[in-house]
Structure 1
Amino acid sequence: MDRKYRVMLIDDEESARKLMRAAIKWDELGMEVTGEAASGVEAINIIDDVQPDIAFVDISMPFMDGIEFTQTVTARYPHLIIIIMTAFDEFEYARKCVSLPVFDYMLKPMVREEVRKVLLRAKEKLASQKDYWEESKSEVGPGAASEADATELIKKYLEENFTDSKLNLTFVAQHFGFSASYLSRKFKQDTGKKFVEYLNDLRMKEALRYAKGGSKMYYTASEVGIPDPNYFSRCFKKYTGMSYSDYVAENNK
C-alpha cells in the first residue's frame, strides 16, 4: 500500500487550522495532516520532524510571515509543495511579492471543493517525484566534514549560532555537506540527543540567564532564536517544568 502524503498546516489562527482539518476528507485523498504550526518560526523548528509533502501557509503571521517562511523553506526543501493562503486584500500583494516556486494561492475563507481540486493537482505532481524525505543515495556530500570531527564541529557551530531563528537540521546538514537524514542519525548516535533537542537545550540555557535577570519573555525569546513567544513559552515549560513568568518570579524575589 502506498504511503499517505503528509500535510502541514501553518496558520496563527487555531480555528482556521481546526477547520482545515475537519473540512477536508484527507483519508479519501490519500493524505494525512501530520503537523501544525502557529507561526513560520515554529514551522521552521519542527518541519524536519513533520516531513511534509504539502504545506498550507498563511501569508499573514507574526514573527515570520508566509513570504519569509516560503523564501526560507524553498531553498532547503525544493520539492515541498507550498500553497499560500491569503485574505482578499492581500491577494495581489502575495502574487507580486512571492517570485518563488509556490504551487498555488488560495483566498480565505477557502472553499472546500477548491481545496480538494488543488490537493488533487498536488497529488499528481507528488506522484511523479520520489520521496525526497527518505534516505538519499549519497548521504555524505563531496564537501562534507570528515566523520571523525563532524559532530564536534557541528556542536561548536550550534553553540556559536543558536540565536539564528532560521537554524534547523536541514540548514546545518546542507552547511556541512550531509543529508539531513544522515546527520539526524549520526548526531543522535554521537550525542545521545536529537538535533532539535540539543539546539533547544542551548537556547533554553541561555533563556535561563535572561530569566534570572528579570527580562521580559518576548525579549528573551527573540534573543535566544525563538522570536515567537508562544512557541518559546512551550519550549521553556518543557525544559524547566515551569512557566516563564513563574520562573522569573521565583528567581527575582
Structure 2
Amino acid sequence: MDRAIRVMIIDDEESARKLMRAAIKWDELGMEVVGEAASGIEAINIIDDLKPDIAFVDISMPFMNGIEFTETATSRYPNLVIIIMTAIDQFEYARKCVSLPVFEYMLKPMVREEITKVLERARDKISKEKDYWAELEAKADDGGDQAEAGSTDQIKKYLEDNFTDSKLNLAFVAQHFGFSASYLSRKFKQDTGKKFVEYLNELRMEKAKEFAEKGTKMYVAASDVGIPDPNYFSRCFKKFTGKSYSDYMAENGKN
C-alpha cells in the first residue's frame, strides 16, 4: 500500500474508543485511526471527510444503531470494510443480518490478538482490491466530467429542499445525481468555494438558529434539522455560532 489504511471507530462509549486506539499497534499494521464517532448519525455526517477504509462499528448505539449504519454506509461505500462489535447477548441478532456485507463480527470485550488477526485479513483484502476500485473510480470520474454545467445549482437546490434528511451526505447526493463521490466533492468545492459538508452543515445550522430564536427545545431542533443526535448537534451548533444552543436561545430568543 502507498498510504496508511484509514480506520474509523464508531462506538458510543468513549472508553471503548480510547482503548481501541491504545491497544492496537496501528503503525505496524500500516494503518492509522483517522477519526471516531459516538453514534451512527455522527459517523454518517463525518465519513465523507474521513474517507475510512475500515470501520469498527458497535451494534448498540443511540439514534442510529450499528446495523442501520452498516446498511446505509455499505450502500454508498461498497468497498468499506465493516467490522461489527457486539456483546454476547446481541451476537445472534447481529449474525442474523447475514445479507449485510459485514467483514467480521467480534465479541466484546475484544482481545488484542484477535483484533490484530482480523485487521491483517482486512489489510490483505484491501490490498488486493485497491487497483480494482481505483479503476472503477477513474471510470466514474470520467463519466462525471460529462455532467451538465448547471448541475451544481441543481445540487444546491436539492440540499436546500432535503437537508433535514438525517441520512443525507456527499455519497448519498452523488448517487442521486449519478456522480462518483470524489468527482462531486471536487466539483462542488470548485464551483462554490466550500466543501460539500460545510455547505450542508451551514444550511442545517442556519435553520437551527431559527429554532433557537423561537425557543424550540434543542433535541427537537436537532431532529428537525437532520442531526437527531443531540450531542453531535450541540458540537456543530457551537462550532457554527460560537455559543451553546441554550446560550444562543437565551440571547436571541423572542420573549
- Spell out structure 1 runs of 4+ moving beyond 6 A: none
Taking the aligned partners of 1:141 and 1:211, their CA distance within structure 2 comes to 43
1:48 CA displacement: 1.0
Map 1:1-253 to 2 at 5 A.
2-130=2-130, 132=133, 136-141=138-143, 146-252=147-253
Taking the aligned partners of 2:146 and 2:128, their CA distance within structure 1 comes to 33
Taking the aligned partners of 2:189 and 2:115, their CA distance within structure 1 comes to 38
1:171-216 deviation line (CA, Å, top 9, x unaligned): 1111111111111111111111100000000001111111111111
1:145 CA displacement: 8.1
Taking the aligned partners of 1:190 and 1:243, their CA distance within structure 2 comes to 32
Distance change >3 Å, CA 98–CA 248, structure 1 → 2: farther
1:42 CA displacement: 0.7
Q: Which amino acid aligns with 1:53?
A: D
Q: Which amino acid aligns with 1:138?
A: A
Unaligned 5+ residue runs, structure 2?
none
1:15 CA displacement: 0.6
Taking the aligned partners of 2:117 and 2:21, their CA distance within structure 1 comes to 16
Taking the aligned partners of 1:4 and 1:205, their CA distance within structure 2 comes to 37
Q: Which amino acid aligns with 2:77?
A: Y
Identity of paired residues, percent? 77
1:239 CA displacement: 0.8
Taking the aligned partners of 1:138 and 1:152, their CA distance within structure 2 comes to 21
Q: Which amino acid aligns with 1:20?
A: M
SS in 2 for 1:34: strand
Taking the aligned partners of 1:123 and 1:10, their CA distance within structure 2 comes to 19
1:70-102 deviation line (CA, Å, top 9, x unaligned): 000111111110000001110111111352010
> 1:145 touches 1:177 (CA, 8 Å); kept in 2?
no
Taking the aligned partners of 1:55 and 1:116, their CA distance within structure 2 comes to 14
* Cα RMSD after superposing both structures: 1.7
1:147 CA displacement: 2.7
Q: TM-score, normalised to structure 2's length?
A: 0.95
1:137 CA displacement: 3.0
Q: TM-score, normalised to structure 1's length?
A: 0.95
> 1:63 touches 1:227 (CA, 8 Å); kept in 2?
yes
> 1:162 touches 1:203 (CA, 8 Å); kept in 2?
yes
SS in 2 for 1:61: coil
Taking the aligned partners of 2:241 and 2:134, their CA distance within structure 1 comes to 32
> 1:140 touches 1:178 (CA, 8 Å); kept in 2?
no
1:148 CA displacement: 1.5
1:141 CA displacement: 3.6
Taking the aligned partners of 1:126 and 1:170, their CA distance within structure 2 comes to 20
SS in 2 for 1:7: strand
Taking the aligned partners of 1:145 and 1:207, their CA distance within structure 2 comes to 36
Taking the aligned partners of 2:114 and 2:247, their CA distance within structure 1 comes to 46
Unaligned 5+ residue runs, structure 1?
none
